[in-house]
Chain A
Amino acid sequence: MSRLPGTDISWSMRRRLVLAFGVLLIVFLGLAGFVLDRAYKQSVAAAVAERLQLQVYALLGVAEPEADGKFFLPDLEEARFSQIDSGLYGLIYNKDGTELWRSPSALNLNVDPAPMVDSELLPGQTSYGEHSTQDQGALAWASYRTYWEPLDQLFFFVVMESTAPSAVEIREFQSTLYLWFGALTVLLSVAQYLLLRWGLRPLQQLAQDVSAIESGTQDQLEQHYPRELLPVTDNLNLLIKNERERQNRFRTTLGDLAHSLKTPLAVLSTALQEARSAQHFTEQQQRDMSEQLQRMNQIVSYQLKRAVKSNQAVLARPVLLAPVLERITGALHKVYRDKEVSVELMLVEGAQFFGEESDLMEVCGNLLDNAFKYGHRRVQVKAERKGKSLLLEINDDGAGIAESQRNFVLQRGARADTVKSGQGIGLAVVVDIVSAYGGELKIERSEWGGASIKLRLG
């Protein structure tokens, strides 16, 4: 079933208002035009009727009956009565419709007198109408019934006038009306657009601010919103602040948890080593305990690392890639000082990651640590931006990762206790973080034959 337009709540507010104002404007201007047009036509018709009436009176004033029952009208003041086809015609009929007189102008006029000779009309009353002729076009007429006392007869004094001048007048009025209404429509539409723009500006600003927060260029919503929006913006700011604090608290708590869990593990591990040198246990017992300790450690490490990673990139802030990579490679140069690894950073100017810096540190730290550890002398990092995504490539000149192992290390959430010590956790955590940011990771062979880790973040 299709919805009625506008019932879908996802319709934009601008669209709703434009539609509402648009319909209102059309209805209002349409009605106003119609009423004005009607009123003008009526006033023109009234003016014509009045004019015809006056002409009738003029005819009555000069009409003189003759002996043959006809009329003689000398000295007609109105010159148009005397010009043939002038558009103003005078006629006199008796009650049967017999023509008793016609003005010289009506010489060529051919009309049916029937509608004008209305027997129900009382003497002294005028009837009006319109008559269509072949030669003179539409004619408005006024027919006045009069009782002529000396002759004791009823006559109809009829004046007809061409409607062409008033039609022209009406058309001119309509043209002016349309012109003004057109201009008014344009003016009101522009005003409506500007008003909507102005009125919806705070909402537009809110959308921009929210998108700036999403993309990380802004920390929170500014404080200059109108009163009506303040409850929304204040609550949104509070929500953002709480969410950030919650993330930090969560991270700190997990860090403390790691410390609390791992220190006893370290004690147990050293105790076991002492017991081994003192030969307190059989070899099998030592192996079992050592394996179980290692498993516990792996599970704790892996699950904590999974938990500590940021779970959303929505409140991301931009993190410049270069300083993070420089800090990590600087640290790794210290750790792998004996290897004299040369690192080549090929980053596009201002390469940024939209997310938590700790997540970027974890991804780059684990990948670069592997590159330093398994590479011989060369490590290369390439980074470029593609839209909002960051493309990162880390190459080394080590032995590379065998194709048979690639799928295993890429399995998202590979269980920690199935991963052997010393490998896998780092990459598994990287895969988890990359997935959390909706990215992907591929393992290939670098141009030097080592590992090439290619990832897309965001």
Chain B
Amino acid sequence: MRLLVAEDEDLLRARLVKALEDNSYVVDSCSNGKTALFQAGEYGYDAAIIDLGLPGLDGISLIKAIRAKGMLFPILILTARDNWTDKVAGLDAGADDYVVKPFQIEEIRARLNALLRRAAGFAKPALDFAHLSLDTTSKKLTVSGDDVELTAFEYKVLEYLMLHPGKVVSKTELTEHLYEQDHDRDSNVLEVFIRRLRQKLDPDETLKPIDTVRGQGYRFNVPATRN
């Protein structure tokens, strides 16, 4: 999952980015509202964390501008101004949730998870597809009720595919959302991960949850059990 973090306090931004990266997110960050708007238009993000007190372009205007450009990814507001006028203004402008400073990293993670799965249409923390269930809170996969171990990268790939079920996801899109910008992107590595995932999800090869659409990418094709 690729996130945009816009926060002007360097120390806080650095710690937030590190904590999110430790939680398997790919994070781009900036300290200025105008840069954030540019980046949001330039790269397809899965979610953004935006501080309301940004220089250049304040948080509310940034959110409005992002929505005005038709970008629908969920936005989490960070605000030090713990009053309802600002919170409601932020949510009215197009944000989806808010966290008041100071915060616990766990809280940010939980809110982000909730926003990401809600954006994909899941109301509960678990992404359920037939006998497959991915818990976005504990980051655990169960297949027919049995726990299956996933590496951090496998989890990222599976979560991304499950959050976009039925949609063809290109290798480029996957790498963009799962790798750092300056990371050496080797599509063969991706193929290896997909193969491993298929084995873990469907050892008997009866369900075939991940299709390869030739020349286009991958598609997670199990119907979701909506909750």
Contacts and interface: CB of A to CB of B under 8 A. Distances in A.
A457 interface: no
Interface in A261-287: 261-271, 273-274
Contacts, number: 101
A273 B104 contact: yes
A337 interface: yes
B118 interface: yes
A308 B19 CA distance: 33
B76 to A, nearest CB: 11
B84 interface: yes
Contact of A365 (B15, B81, B87, B97): B87
A333 to B, nearest CB: 9
B143 interface: no
B92 interface: yes
B83 A331 contact: no
Interface in B85-121: 85-88, 91-92, 95-98, 100-105, 114, 118
A297 interface: yes
A264 B11 CA distance: 9
Nearest to A366: B84
A301 B81 CA distance: 9
Nearest to A335: B97
Given A262-B102, A274-B19, A338-B124, A361 B12 contact: no
Nearest to A336: B97
Of B80, B88, B91, B105, which is in contact with the most chain A CB atoms at under 10 Å from its CB? B80
A273 B19 contact: yes
A371 to B, nearest CB: 14
A361 B15 contact: no
A262 B102 CA distance: 6
A273 B105 contact: yes
B11 A267 contact: yes
B168 interface: no
A100 interface: no
Interface string A235-275: 00000000000000000000100111111111111110110
A328 interface: yes
A267 B19 CA distance: 12
A410 interface: no
A334 interface: yes
Interface string B53-82: 100000000000000000000000000111
A264 B102 CA distance: 8
B18 to A, nearest CB: 7
Given A263-B12, A267-B12, A338-B118, A361 B83 contact: yes
A266 B83 contact: no
B226 to A, nearest CB: 13
A266 B92 contact: no
Nearest to B8: A263
A270 B81 contact: no
Contacts of B95: 334
A145 interface: no
B84 A255 contact: no
A361 B84 contact: yes
A337 B83 contact: no
A267 B13 CA distance: 9
Nearest to A358: B85
Interface of A: 255, 258-271, 273-274, 293, 297, 301, 304-305, 308, 327-328, 330-331, 334-335, 337-338, 357-358, 361-362, 364-366
11 contacts: A259-B80, A262-B100, A262-B101, A263-B53, A267-B9, A267-B15, A269-B104, A274-B18, A330-B91, A362-B84, A366-B84
A-B pairs, 5 with minimum CB distance = A365-B84, A331-B91, A262-B80, A266-B102, A269-B102
Given A271-B11, A335-B96, 20 more contacts: A258-B82, A262-B80, A262-B101, A265-B101, A266-B103, A268-B102, A270-B105, A271-B15, A273-B105, A297-B102, A305-B82, A305-B83, A328-B84, A328-B88, A338-B118, A338-B123, A358-B84, A358-B85, A365-B83, A365-B88
